[in-house]
Chain A
């Protein structure tokens, strides 16, 4: 990697970490109901929302009430998004005349955006109306992110309160997350992106006449849209001459801002932030990358503030960074190293003033190796899922890093809110195991860890691997699953594994190379996304309720300190061990064997 590349990564991480404390402290104030600089504008709006919705903001909810409110809110939003897609053909703000989305694709997209996954089996510019993008997807981007934050602060309260029955008010937490955190940041980022050239318009798509007309072979289809085959059983094609190009535009800037900040990741355009209208300049690329990581990192400080011990928050951030940096180095190193078969063929893959070098397949030349690999690592460390390059084209081990990031449970910064509450579950596991190993009382922040918390922590840790591996097994075993794969051999397996890993972890990034818009992938994916999100959240809220009801045990010589370097190392080890035990066999069948075969010169055609 070049010196300039290392400096760019260092600058990026420095800005992220510099923002952790001020942003984290601000978020703590928001969730503690303290005064903020936006109060003169937003407090009246907040009160109006409560009045209109008949919400009592002073109600303190038990974990059960909190959970039911969250589930009902999600269900209603999901049904509305489903209806919006199905009916978009007869609704306004549809200048391209998009017809209603098919039932199975509508299901997948509705669950995807309700679960903060934002997996996209559709192409935004070819499938959805402006109304669906704005009133459906963008709204869900805000509320699903705010729900993640709400669950997180409910867990914080469970750890901070003593002998309490309640963990906060779901409605207040969600409204405050949207109004005071996501909305102001999104407005600033949307304006900044628009200034860089990200499109923001309700005008119809533009048509341009090509300076150099081109032609291509198009499959011939029958009246039912099925390919017509020739005598040899091959699809018939006809040559089509192209003289014009339709240029898709739309209200993108506002959606891009929240898709990055809310760790949503669903692009306005099909190729996401690789599209020049979604990510046009180096500055827009930097701002969008910054938005991926900044909130998931800052909530660590929020945690410390809300439990009254910022050392605990810094310890979690340190453990996350300890795993993030080596994996980032792996991605950057293998991508910069390039393809060994190209090297054998005499292709120059060396970085120089004239070229970025390395493996540039699937990458924008303007982003090069460094920013593409940094984005790929950050977007899968968090549950963002936006992309500025195609992970399918990465060298096998560099492409494995996004998989590993997700297989670790997306706790390396993780999704907005969800990353930290999952990391705290790992802390409970680590503290319990370490406590037993060294003869200390298993406790965290003065709360004893008992059988119920351990059972719930185990459920949370096991749900994701279970749904991911069952989904992948189905994809491999069933013809409908194999039919979606573009590549033979281990790479094809990686494509299926990536699809279910991304959906089961509510990440949403695509490996590419897999045709996911089929009834099988739409329906099974929807179930995987739902279970991966809410079968983790409900046990987490149960832990919050259980912890809130406990007394605080005073610190004693028997207390296991959880803010030390040793504990940070131990926590990182537990995260890696659990992830490796769950997924190493699957990785061995995909990217690892592909890497070994590639080194030996074996490719699959």
Chain B
């Protein structure tokens, strides 16, 4: 149970960081 939650937390940290890429690309304008 804890393992599932912790792996989910690691994936969440990964996803919210990955989401910066398209966000910053739009901000950059290219």
Contact = CB atoms under 8 A, between A and B. Distances in A.
B17 A535 contact: yes
Contacts of A64: 21, 25
Interface in A510-567: 523, 526-527, 530-531, 534-535, 538-539, 542, 545-546, 549
B10 A542 contact: no
Contacts of B7: 79, 82
Interface stretch (A90-98, A99-107, A221-229, A317-325): A99-107
Nearest to A539: B24
B27 A103 contact: no
A103 B29 CA distance: 42
B13 A538 contact: no
A67 B10 contact: no
Contacts of A538: 17, 20-21, 24
A75 interface: yes
Nearest to A527: B13
Interface residues of B, number: 20
Contacts of B18: 68, 71
Interface residues of A, number: 31
B28 A545 contact: yes
B28 A111 contact: no
B17 A71 contact: yes
Contacts of B17: 71, 530, 534-535, 538
Contacts of A455: 27
Contacts of A78: 10
B15 to A, nearest CB: 10
Nearest to A453: B28
Contacts, number: 58
A456 interface: yes
The dominant DSSP class at the A interface is: helix
Nearest to B5: A103
Interface in B1-21: 2-3, 5-7, 9-11, 13-14, 17-18, 20-21
A182 B6 CA distance: 31
A178 interface: no
Interface string A75-87: 1001100100010
Interface in A43-84: 64, 67-68, 71, 75, 78-79, 82
Given A71-B14, A75-B11, A78-B10, 15 more contacts: A67-B21, A86-B3, A106-B6, A107-B10, A111-B10, A455-B27, A523-B9, A527-B13, A531-B13, A534-B17, A538-B20, A538-B24, A539-B24, A545-B28, A546-B28
29 contacts: A64-B21, A64-B25, A71-B17, A71-B18, A75-B10, A75-B11, A75-B14, A78-B10, A82-B6, A82-B7, A82-B10, A103-B3, A103-B5, A104-B2, A104-B6, A106-B6, A107-B10, A110-B10, A452-B29, A456-B24, A523-B9, A527-B9, A527-B13, A531-B13, A535-B20, A538-B24, A539-B20, A546-B28, A549-B30
